[in-house]
Chains A and B, each alone.
Chain A
């Protein structure tokens, strides 16, 4: 197969297994103490700043970053083990998820020394949360068409006007990395003239309007910028290099285990049911779904290992996200076909509740972070077709 799609197998990591056991022990204790309850898709919906701080205290945020910025200089394989355990337990990780996954690494790559020193230690402590400022009301998959503008004023500050949308947890976050147009669109080079700004969400002129998703949950927002004055030193990276920077950020965004474990708590509940029933069709379905999940783990581990080698595997990451998010949604119907269960958020049956949560979040799996159509386009490019 085309080499841009294929990564070397991940070598086994003993350090990852050590930290995995620690996280597992921590989660068991937290569950026993009732500090959280398991839910589906908690990296979107499980906002719990106190829980995030606990992870920070244990050194499980900013794991791969340099110590001088509050990080722990551990491998991507170790970070993979930690994130995977948290997701499998359905733990409330949404508050810090974006900051730890992509905003921090983005700041490390492109931030000024002052930006890094100011913000990274707070992210690693689980005290500073970020939102993604990419999509807009008229710009979804076609990200280069964004219209939020930023222009320097006489003081050298940025005047930002426009709106971002689907902004997860903006009402509970401190900063956003906002993609803005800093020079007018050039039809000959649509990717030029974009920049990233580091925006304090408490600045005057920013309005956060809730958008409710199918289950009534408030995770999404519209964030409106009305002549917001963003200090001049809050440019992230290079002016005009926004497209390039966003592409790198998306490689982090697309490669992790949250792209196939969002509905794992449903699968876990189904496993309990199959164990109790001993039903042959249920056991076979569990086997089939598990085989898919195990393959996805290997693909995702290969990406973690590639990150440890200093690579930025954007094409394999797109492929994993396509295959993984398809799996997340398939779990719902595979389970439905072999269990007599009616989905309801009010069900006394935990399987019925998990099924309801997974179903009402399902349309999002294959949209967020780049639709699967866009991802397949990237894979097709990797195959040399475009």
Chain B
């Protein structure tokens, strides 16, 4: 991390310090106050160019914002906006919505796009269908929706839908983060046709965004667990003095280091503008598979208190248990990676592996 990103991290932490994570409910599905504070500080536009209405900065800066907020269990759609929807809209030459108003992304479900001439110029579409598993449905003011292109046209349409007033179902993930469906009944939207490669790239970005969040959350879970093991006394000494506990913490550290190393490398691949599909797939699968070990051992070391909503641990472990299968399940991305690595044939596996990141 450069000093630039250190500064970004410090700024986000300053804002974050004024807000405590809380158990999300249908009544309080996100942290609107935190979002407003982040938006006031220009942090909801980091990594998006100023001429497009963003705050400027590089991908690394946006990743630093997302990591810091993920580690803080911040209930705001920043990963979706800064790492997925924003860059995807820009890449498709579409206008960015105001970064102060949360924008999410929808890549699942059955939605069809038909071109319309509604008097708002070219690039207008009408979207019909149901977008499912929409992160922050009901919270996001706008959603970048990936919709099937009209019959006979390759690729898909990315369209920015105004989500205010749209019906959304109340589904939530294991941490209570909104993941409902959006019903689109001929919603008008500006959009652009994406090639299949760009569609794959968009899905990969989304997966990488979740991997980045997972990496940060797992690092924090490890830090909390090491801290707890150093403080909690049993049999007259701290838990961390017991070899059995040390072995567990070392195993967690191994997993977390592996996740961070691969996720960082995948982010760098994206920053270099290279094809990121296999890198993102690998990062997502590796981060997801670490959750099993890290979350399990974190709860084991924390004991019963970590199993309660009184303790902070669940804010991150519940998120990790969901994030690992969001933006494409672990199984989906494992297959993408397996198929992609064999694209050049069974004898090409090793060269393919050395090309991924």
> B-contacting residues of A (Cβ < 8 Å)?
1-2, 5-6, 9, 20, 24, 84, 88-89, 264, 267-268, 271-276, 280, 282-288, 290-299, 302, 316, 319, 322-323, 326, 373, 375-377, 379-380, 382-386
Contact = CB atoms under 8 A, between A and B. Distances in A.
A24 B353 CA distance: 14
Nearest to B238: A385
B228 to A, nearest CB: 12
Nearest to A269: B346
B268 A9 contact: yes
A6 B264 CA distance: 12
Interface residues of B, number: 54
A294 B354 CA distance: 8
A45 B281 CA distance: 35
Given A88-B350, A271-B341, A294 B357 contact: yes
18 contacts: A1-B222, A9-B261, A24-B351, A271-B341, A272-B347, A284-B331, A285-B338, A286-B342, A287-B282, A287-B333, A291-B285, A291-B286, A294-B265, A298-B258, A299-B258, A319-B253, A383-B253, A386-B246
Given A20-B354, A283-B338, A1 B256 contact: yes
B356 interface: yes
A275 B345 contact: yes
Contacts of B265: 9, 294, 298
Interface centre among B241, B336, B338, B356, by most A CB within 10 Å?
B338
A287 B246 contact: no
A385 B229 contact: yes
A336 to B, nearest CB: 17
A377 B246 contact: yes
B233 interface: no
A6 B254 CA distance: 11
Contacts of B351: 24
Contact of B219 (A1, A89, A288, A291): A1
Given A377-B246, A383-B249, 11 more contacts: A84-B354, A271-B341, A271-B346, A288-B289, A294-B353, A295-B261, A299-B257, A316-B257, A379-B253, A380-B249, A385-B229
Interface centre among A20, A291, A316, by most B CB within 10 Å?
A291
A384 B351 CA distance: 39
Given A376-B251, A383-B249, A290 B258 contact: no
Given A271-B349, A288-B289, A296 B258 contact: yes
Interface of B, secondary structure class, is: helix
Interface centre among B253, B256, B283, B339, by most A CB within 10 Å?
B253
A1 B264 contact: no
Interface of A, secondary structure class, is: helix
Contacts of B336: 287
Contacts, number: 164
B353 A287 contact: no
Interface centre among A20, A88, A294, A322, by most B CB within 10 Å?
A294
A287 B337 contact: yes
A70 to B, nearest CB: 28
B110 interface: no
B167 interface: no
Interface in B285-331: 285-286, 289, 330-331
A269 to B, nearest CB: 9
Of all A-B residue pairs in the complex, the 4 with the closest CB atoms, nearest first, are A275-B346, A287-B334, A376-B250, A283-B338
Contact of B286 (A295, A373, A384): A295
B13 interface: no
Contact of B257 (A6, A271, A290, A291): A6
Contacts of B262: 291, 294-295, 298
B28 interface: no
A161 to B, nearest CB: 34
B277 to A, nearest CB: 12
Given A1-B219, A1-B253, A276-B346, A290 B261 contact: no
Contact of B282 (A267, A280, A291, A299): A291
B223 A1 contact: yes
Contacts of A275: 342, 345-346
Contacts of B283: 291
Given A275-B346, A290-B353, A323-B255, A299 B261 contact: yes
A183 B250 CA distance: 35
A373 B257 contact: no
A280 B335 contact: yes
Nearest to A273: B346
B247 interface: yes
A373 B331 CA distance: 31
Interface string B173-213: 00000000000000000000000000000000000000000
A323 B289 CA distance: 13
A333 to B, nearest CB: 15
A377 B229 CA distance: 15
A275 B342 CA distance: 6
Given A296-B258, A302-B261, A385 B223 contact: no
